[in-house]
Structures are given as structure tokens and as C-alpha cells.
Amino acid sequence: MNAFYKILLLNCLLSTGVSAQQSAPFFQEEMIVTASSLNLRELPDKNAKKVGTLTQGTVVQFVEAYKDGEYMQADTTDPESPYAPWLKVRFKGGTGWAFGAYLTGAYGLYYENDIFVEGDALPPLQWFGVYARDSFADEVRRVQVRLADEFNEFFQTQVRVLKTNQREQSKFLVASLTPIPTGYCGPLGNFEIGQMYYSKTLGPGGQLSIYPGNDLNDTLIRPTYGIAATGCAELDNTYVRVTNYQLRLIDFSQEPVQYQDLTQWVKTDTPEASPSVDLLWFGDLDRDGKPDAIINDCPYEPGCRASLFLSSKAKPGAYLHKVCEHFWPGD
């Protein structure tokens, strides 16, 4: 792998990964140790007192990130030392600081042909793909994944890309610590959001519906929620500036109508930037009879992210909860 490729990919990761570049970095609530052993430190420093050692596969709970998740090298004297944030985690009632390069989230959202940087491995999770079963149905399949070397025209070199053992192209892939039910998972099928609703955009004034759908011979009435975007769009010289943007989920079935504010998940990195939000997918991935969704937003200039929201992980009084995100590096 040439140096240009390594530097460019590192820059993409630092600007679009879980880093201090974001105004509100996202960390999963549960994480898994990927190294054969991982030391817990009293302070976020490789020379700090060791307070414990975790083995590969250990599940820990996220507590906080040092310096808002700023990426740093574990060993500044070694140029090959990886970059990652220091994370405070909880294990069996105790806490300690662990270097984030050796932790992965309990969920992962991926797309086929995602590029993996040299040295990165597939997370030790169970892998599932969402596929169009027919014109009006999506389905979950358990899949096997691998990394394959392919020539990339942009980088002009061989890169490692994500592949599955399925003949068809998936809509997306989910890696999960716990199994995801296989079979029917949504009503989109061969249709895209834009084809079904004539738009997938959630700019000010936009409103779309999400629902779990019904498989064949399933006549149960399942909830439909609305996702509505409000705000003020004004022309500022040659630029349309959006202020007071809000994204809310609406439960029409309740009296009075209930809402969940989703705005915190789609905030831009700077107040001057206008939000760009799209609904990418909806269905019932966790098979709890309630809708789940993937929402795309562009919080900062270098790229955008797709966030997976699951109803089964929602907090009391809420309908959806973000479990993981996937970054699309910008040009």
C-alpha cells in the first residue's frame, strides 16, 4: 500500500470517524474488546497505573471519552502507533481507561465494498444483510463476510473491501453482538424511499412516514410514525441558510399525539452550516413490531453519516434510539 493511500485514508478516518471534529461525537453504549488482552488504566495514558486487564470478547459499558473523543496516539514515540480516543469504560462494577483502537461497538452498520484500512480487522460480531426479497418486502439474511483485495481507481492501488458470500447485493449490512431475526424485515423491497414518497429529504417542511410493514398472511395492525422536519429557510445572498431546524418523530396513535425529538442526532458541526437530512430506509429490523430507520445527515464538510435507529433500544418514553453509524468520506 502506498504512502499516499495510507495518509488519505487516515485523514478520512480522523475527520469522519468518532472524533473531536464532531460537535457531539457518538459512542455506543456497549463495546467489545478486540485485542487478545486490553489493559485498563487509572488515567488516559499508557503509562498510568494499570487497574485491570480484559480479554478478547469481553463486553464493557461506555462511560465517557477523554477530551470529547479526540484521536491521539497511544505511543507518540512510535510512528506506527494507532490513533484512537481514550475511553472510560465500566466492567463488573469497576471503571478504567482503555485505548479505543482495541474496542468495537456492539453494533456496526456497513455497506458492501466499504474500504478497510490496512491493519483493521472485521469486528468479531455476527453479520447480517438486508436484501430486497421481492417488490414489496425486505428480508434479513445471516451472511459471512470477508475482506478482498481490489484495485481502486481513485487511490490507484490495491485496497481491501468488504464482501459477502451472497450472490445478490445487499442494501446494507449490520454486525451485531446479539442475533438479529432472519426473514421479513420491511416493506420497501425493490423500491427506494424516493420512489415510494417522491422524496427522501427531510428539509424544513418535509414529512415522511415509517412503519414496520406486514409479511404475507400477517394482518396485525402495526404502528406508523411520522418523521417531520421544521425550520426556517432563507436566502442569504447566494446561499440558502436554515435556522431553528428540528427533526421530530410523531406517534399519531396516541391521544394527545406524542413526539420524540431527534434533532440531537442530526446537528451540524457548526451553527452556520445548514442541515442536510435524508431518510434512507425503514422497516422492522429487530422484529418487535415497531419501525426502525436509517437516517443520513451531513454534520460537517468532509462527509456524511448514516445512523441506524432501533425501536427495541429506545429509552423509556422514546420510540427510537441510535445504536451505530456509518461514515461516508467526502470528496
Phi-psi region of 217 (alpha: psi -120 to 50; beta: other; left: phi over 0): left
pLDDT beyond 50 at 11: no
Q: Are residues 127 and 179 in the same domain?
A: yes
CATH code assigned at 98: 2.30.30.40
Q: Are residues 280 and 147 in the same domain?
A: no
Position 329 confidence tier, pLDDT thresholds 50, 70, 90? low
- For residue 277, tell me if it sits in a domain: yes
- For residue 314, tell me if it sits in a domain: yes
Look at residues 77, 104, 131 and tell me which one is the last residue of a structural domain. 104
Look at residues 140, 169, 184 and tell me which one is the last residue of a structural domain. 184
Distance, CA of 189 to CA of 133 (rounded, Å): 6
- Please state the domain count of the chain: 3
For the chain, give the mean pLDDT.
Answer: 89
pLDDT of residue 71: 92
Range of the domain at 221: 186-329
pLDDT of residue 4: 39
pTM: predicted TM-score of the whole model, two decimal places:
0.90
Q: What type of residue is 161? A: V
- For residue 43, tell me if it sits in a domain: yes
pLDDT of residue 151: 92
Residue with the larger pLDDT of the pair 219 and 152? 152
Asked if residues 67 and 138 have their Cβ atoms less than 8 Å apart, the reply is no
Hey, what's the cell of 48? 498510568
Name 254's Cβ contacts closer than 8 Å, sequence gap at least 6: none
CA of 201: how far to CAs of 146, 223, 282, in Å? 33, 22, 14
Digit-coded pLDDT (tens) for 71-105: 999 888 888 888 999 999 999 989 999 999 999 99
Q: Are residues 134 and 174 in the same domain?
A: yes
Least confident window among 112-116, 163-167, 175-179, 273-277? 273-277
Look at residues 104, 124, 158 and tell me which one is the last residue of a structural domain. 104
- For residue 15, tell me if it sits in a domain: no
- For residue 159, tell me if it sits in a domain: yes
Q: Are residues 114 and 241 in the same domain?
A: no
Q: Are residues 152 and 203 in the same domain?
A: no
Average pLDDT of 16-38?
74
pLDDT of residue 164: 98
Asked if residues 295 and 309 have their Cβ atoms less than 8 Å apart, the reply is yes
